[in-house]
Copies of this chain bind each other. A is one copy, B any other.
Amino acid sequence: MDPFLKAAIEEARLGALEGGIPTGSVLVRQGMILGRGRNRRMQMGSPILHGEMDALQNAGRLPAHIYQECTLYTTLSPCAMCAGAILLYGIPRVVIGENVTFLGEEHWLKKRGVVIELADSEECVDLMSAFISEHPRQWSEDLGEGG
């Protein structure tokens, strides 16, 4: 498996161990991970720290040209917020673990010129499926859905 998708899955597994939503992400440039992150809603009470946002946060402040040479790996299809962050920083390529349990804004990203690669990872699907069946309310909350 791609070592960077593997690193994103490691983050998702750490999240699961913490009782969090098991999505993870890494920001990669020239074969180096600049930032890694995982969904922190449950752990930190945060509505904005999805895996991708946490990876961007942990990479810190970067000049524009760095982002423009990056690939963002994420275990799950990016939602509107994370897709917007990808566009804001002009990240040209996104590798997605799976889009079966949730299909995000891939169409919007492609329309704006972002290259999307789907890994179709069963491991990613299994992680999310287990979480959703055990914690449906928390998962709805993370999507701004439900009551």
| Interface stretch of the complex, out of A1-9, A12-20, A57-65, A118-126 | A57-65
Q: Which of A72-88 contact B (CB under 8 A)?
A: 79-85, 87-88
Copies per assembly = 2
Taking residues whose C-beta sits less than 8 angstroms from the other chain, chain A's interface range is: 35 or more
Given contacts A56-B48, A82-B84, A85-B81, contact A64 B105 (CB under 8 A): no
Q: How far is the CB of A116 from chain B (nearest CB, A)?
A: 16
How far, in whole Å, are A65 and B144 apart by their CA atoms in the complex? Answer: 8
Q: How far is the CA of A143 from the CA of B85 in the complex (A)?
A: 10
- Asked if A61 and B41 sit within 8 Å, CB to CB, the answer is yes
Could you tell me the distance between the alpha carbons of A52 and B60 in the complex, rounded to whole angstroms? 19
